[in-house]
Every structure is written in structure tokens, then in C-alpha cells.
């Protein structure tokens, strides 16, 4: 190429670039689904510390997307999953969320297991006015207009559980949890319920995350002789706690552990024998008997292996994709943006594996709380199922604050 030609071509590109710049500026950053498929982001860690649980959420969400696509997609358009691996690091979550929302123009992103990673994504999704679908149970006290909360908040896990536990075992509660925000908020709400139903806290303690020697805790439990061990211990700590509790021969019939966090995943590692007899409160157990759940468990196992388990978070990761699809179907195909999806999703009902769920105007989900007792085969037997669907109250422990369709309202 001659120098003169080169200069003139650069000039041409420069002019074209300058002319198109305003057009670029108006469309950039507004995620709208145009073209032949609908881009959706999947932001679950496939590597790192929380990958153990989060990869199962990824699997469940991806399965739902592929099922929808196999059935013909939405409005004849396929969902195009764009997969990012944030590697269990909150800063990477924010970075990858930004990439999914800006570069890939996803109209929704599904992701996160821990509160820390959700809070890292929160400013990004709010700034881009995008929609983040979060499937995990969490501590409440959040009311974003850009997050769809699919898991239980404290009132949904505890309102039935606490009176039931007091009635069946007694009023003296021993609280044990890991030292971070979730257990503290759950215990906070539990205390208000105990005060209402005539229970008491004999001891409240928090161990560091990843703590693995519970002999002092077990000695204290032995000395205090509480009626109920109210546990919000998570992950590997819970596995170690359950195994040592069993090894110490503390009888679940006399001092049961009632957990908000123990699911099929933990029980598989604890071993059925050590987990048997204790309780969990959750909206979903793998053994839930509904036709939808049978189909869900069967296709999950046939896809990912017969020894795999489904649990209360992977179920939500699965049904949230279907909620997303149902919201899209209500929309004009030319007008698919995160805001229209959100507005279409409010009030939507869907038959999930746990039962019929409803999206509240505060973007949390109405769920069916259950109390399950673990059996030696590693499955939970559902002892008590809520008679009616329970509404989410993310600020239940904080009087005068309510999360509504307009965001947080302080009285």
C-alpha cells in the first residue's frame, strides 16, 4: 500500500467512525434482545472454593435453557447461554457481570451462590439496569429492583419451623453458626420468633468459616443440654460438625440439630448414618413428590449421572430460568429489555418442582416451606408441609421497614 492510499483510507475510516459514534453511544449499554437469539448470561463459579455447590446450580440452569431450546425456544427464538466462570472471587463476579451485560448484551444474568458474590454484582446490575437472577436462600435485608430473588428469606424458613420445634422438642435453643452475615441475621429473626412463642436462647455462638474441630462446641452442648440445636453452619464446617456430633453419640431424638443450610449435598458428604434423625427447613427436598419434581430429578440424573443430587438451591436455579421464559412469552418480541422482563415477571405463577411459586412485586418469590427429617439413605422425609404458600418478607426482623414494588419503604 502506498503512503497516500493509506492516509486516505485512514481518513475515510476516521470520518465514518466519527459519524457513527453518536449512533454507537445511543445503543451501547442498553441490553436489548435483537437478532435471532436471546443472549442470557450464566455466572456460576466452576472453579474455586464455592464451585462444589455452584457448579450444580450451573448444571441445573443450563439444563433448563437446553430444555427450553429443545422445545422450540421463546417466540421461535433460541436462548443463547453465555457462560462465564468467576472462579469464586467476588471481584471477578463484578467484572464478568459487566462483561455479560455490556459486551454480550445479555438481557438477564443467572448467577451466584454466596451473598458476597451477589453484593459484588449488585452495583453492576443496578447501574446497567439489568436483571440478575439469584437462586439462593439468603438473609434478607435487601430490596433491589434489579435482582430476582428465587430463594427463601428468614420468615419463609422459620415461621413454621420455630413453633413446630418448640412444640415437639422444647423451648431451649442452642444457636451455632459460622461467623458471617447470614447466620447472624437468621439468628436475629429466630430470637424475635422465640420471644413470641415462649422459647429462649441458652447459648449463641459463631465459629470461623471453614472451622473443623467442634469438640469444644460439643462439650458445651453436652453441658447445656438444650432441647434444639439451631444450626446455620455452612459447607465443610457443617459436614465436620455433623460427623463429630454423631461420633460423640448425642442422640437426635433428644437433641436434634435443626438446620437452615443442610441440603442433600452436605448430607452426601456427612454420610446418611450420621445425618439421620436431624432436621432441615427448606422449600424443596429431592424427595418432594410432585410430577414436576420427578421429571426434574430424572432428567438431572440422566444428564449428569445417577449419583448426583438435586437440592433447594439447584431447584431454584432451574425454575428461575422457566420464570424468565414465561416472562418473555408475555412480551412483544420487539421489546425485550431487562425492565420489561422484570415488569412482566411480577405476579407470574409457575409450577416448580416444589409446588406453584409466585413472584412478588418486591421481586422475591412466594414459596412452599417444608420441614424434612434426614434418613439413613441420605434423603429427607418431609414431615410438615406448609398449608399455604408463604410470602417473602425480607425485612421481617426489622420493624417499620418493608420491601415493596417501589423498593424499600421506611415507616
Partner 1 sequence: MDVILNQMFAGLSMASILLMIALGLAIIYGAMGVINLAHGEFVMLGAYAAWALQTYAGFSIIVALPFVFVAVGAVGWIIERVIVQRLYHRPLDTILATWGIGIILQQVVRLSVGAESRFVKGPELLSGNIEIGGLVMSNYRIFVIVFSLAVLAASWALMTRTEFGMKLRAVIQNRQISECYGIEAKHIYSVTFAYGAGLAGIAGALITPLFSTIPTMGTGLVVDAFLVVIVGGLGSLLGAASAAVLIGEATALFSMLFNDTLGRIAVLAGIIVLIRFRPRGLFPSNTRR
Binding site for partner 1 (CB under 8 A): 47, 49, 51-52, 55, 179, 205-208, 210-213, 215-220, 222-223, 235-237, 239-240, 243-244, 247-249, 265-266, 268-271
The minimum distance between CB 307 and partner 1, in angstroms, equals: 10
DSSP category for residue 272: H
Distance, in Å, from the CA atom of 4 to the CA atom of 175, rounded to the nearest integer, reads: 79
The minimum distance between CB 389 and partner 1, in angstroms, equals: 32
* Residue 375: Cβ-neighbour burial (10 angstroms; 0-12, 13-18, 19+): middle
1 or 223, CB closer to partner 1?
223
DSSP category for residue 105: -
170 or 271, CB closer to partner 1?
271
The minimum distance between CB 190 and partner 1, in angstroms, equals: 18
The minimum distance between CB 157 and partner 1, in angstroms, equals: 23
1 or 253, CB closer to partner 1?
253
Distance, in Å, from the CA atom of 34 to the CA atom of 47, rounded to the nearest integer, reads: 32
The minimum distance between CB 44 and partner 1, in angstroms, equals: 13
The minimum distance between CB 213 and partner 1, in angstroms, equals: 6
Closest CA to 111 of 126, 129, 123, 97: 97
27 or 215, CB closer to partner 1?
215
324 or 374, CB closer to partner 1?
374
90 or 271, CB closer to partner 1?
271
206 or 398, CB closer to partner 1?
206
Instruction: Let me know: does 185 contact 150? Beta carbons within 8 Å.
Output: no
Cell of 313: 438451591
Closest CA to 125 of 103, 98, 155: 98
Instruction: Let me know: does 209 contact 237? Beta carbons within 8 Å.
Output: yes
Which residues lie below 8 Å from residue 406, measured CB to CB, with a gap of 6+? none
Angle subtended at Cα 184 by Cα 183 and Cα 185, rounded to the nearest 5 degrees? 95
Instruction: Let me know: does 243 contact 274? Beta carbons within 8 Å.
Output: yes
120 or 240, CB closer to partner 1?
240
Strand 279-282 and strand 370-374: pairing?
antiparallel
The minimum distance between CB 313 and partner 1, in angstroms, equals: 14
Closest CA to 39 of 329, 338, 388: 338
The minimum distance between CB 216 and partner 1, in angstroms, equals: 4
Sheet-wide strand order for 349-352:
349-352, 355-359, 365-366
Amino acid at each position: 500500500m502506498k503512503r497516500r492510499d493509506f492516509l486516505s483510507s485512514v481518513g475515510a475510516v476516521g470520518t465514518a467512525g466519527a459519524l457513527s459514534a453518536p449512533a454507537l453511544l445511543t445503543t451501547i449499554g442498553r441490553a436489548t434482545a435483537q437478532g435471532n437469539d436471546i443472549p442470557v448470561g450464566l455466572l456460576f463459579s466452576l472453579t474455586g472454593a464455592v464451585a462444589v455447590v455452584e457448579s450444580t446450580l450451573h448444571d441445573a440452569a443450563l439444563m433448563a435453557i437446553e430444555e427450553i431450546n429443545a422445545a422450540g425456544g421463546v417466540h421461535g427464538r433460541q436462548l443463547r447461554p453465555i457462560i462465564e466462570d468467576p472462579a469464586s472471587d467476588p471481584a471477578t463476579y463484578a467484572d464478568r457481570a459487566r462483561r455479560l451485560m455490556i459486551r454480550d448484551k445479555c438481557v438477564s444474568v443467572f448467577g451466584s451462590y454466596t451473598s458476597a458474590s451477589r453484593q459484588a454484582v449488585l452495583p453492576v446490575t443496578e447501574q446497567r439496569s439489568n436483571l440478575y437472577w439469584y437462586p439462593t436462600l439468603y438473609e434478607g435485608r435487601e430490596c433491589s429492583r434489579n435482582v430476582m430473588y428465587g430463594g427463601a428469606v428468614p420468615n419463609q424458613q422459620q415461621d413454621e419451623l420455630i413453633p413446630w420445634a418448640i412444640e415437639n422438642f422444647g423451648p431451649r435453643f442452642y444457636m451455632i453458626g459460622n461467623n458471617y452475615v447470614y447466620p447472624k441475621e437468621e439468628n436475629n429473626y429466630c430470637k424475635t420468633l422465640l420471644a413470641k412463642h415462649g422459647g429462649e436462647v441458652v447459648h449463641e455462638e459463631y465459629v470461623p468459616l471453614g472451622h473443623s474441630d467442634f469438640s469444644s462446641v460439643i462439650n458445651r452442648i453436652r453441658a447445656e443440654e438444650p432441647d434444639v440445636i439451631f444450626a446455620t453452619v455452612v459447607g465443610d464446617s457443617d459436614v465436620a460438625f455433623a460427623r463429630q456430633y454423631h461420633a460423640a453419640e448425642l442422640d437426635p431424638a433428644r437433641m436434634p440439630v435443626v438446620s437452615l443450610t443442610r441440603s442433600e449435598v452436605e448430607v452426601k458428604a456427612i454420610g446418611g448414618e450420621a445425618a439421620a434423625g436431624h432436621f432441615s427447613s427448606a422449600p424443596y427436598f429431592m424427595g418432594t413428590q410432585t410430577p414436576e419434581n420427578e421429571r426434574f430429578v430424572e432428567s438431572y440424573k440422566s444428564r449428569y449421572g445417577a449419583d448426583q443430587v438435586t437440592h433447594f438451591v439447584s431447584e431454584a436455579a432451574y425454575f428461575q430460568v422457566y420464570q424468565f421464559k414465561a416472562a418473555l412469552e408475555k412480551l412483544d418480541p420487539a421489546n425485550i429489555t431487562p425492565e420489561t422482563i422484570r415488569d412482566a415477571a411480577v405476579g407470574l405463577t409457575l409450577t416448580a418442582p416444589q409446588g406453584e411459586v409466585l413472584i412478588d412485586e418486591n421481586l422475591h418469590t412466594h414459596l412452599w416451606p417444608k420441614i424434612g427429617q434426614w434418613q439413613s439413605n441420605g434423603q429427607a422425609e418431609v414431615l410438615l408441609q406448609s398449608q399455604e404458600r408463604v410470602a417473602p418478607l425480607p425485612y421481617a426482623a426489622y420493624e417499620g421497614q418493608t420491601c415493596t414494588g417501589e423498593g424499600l419503604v421506611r415507616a
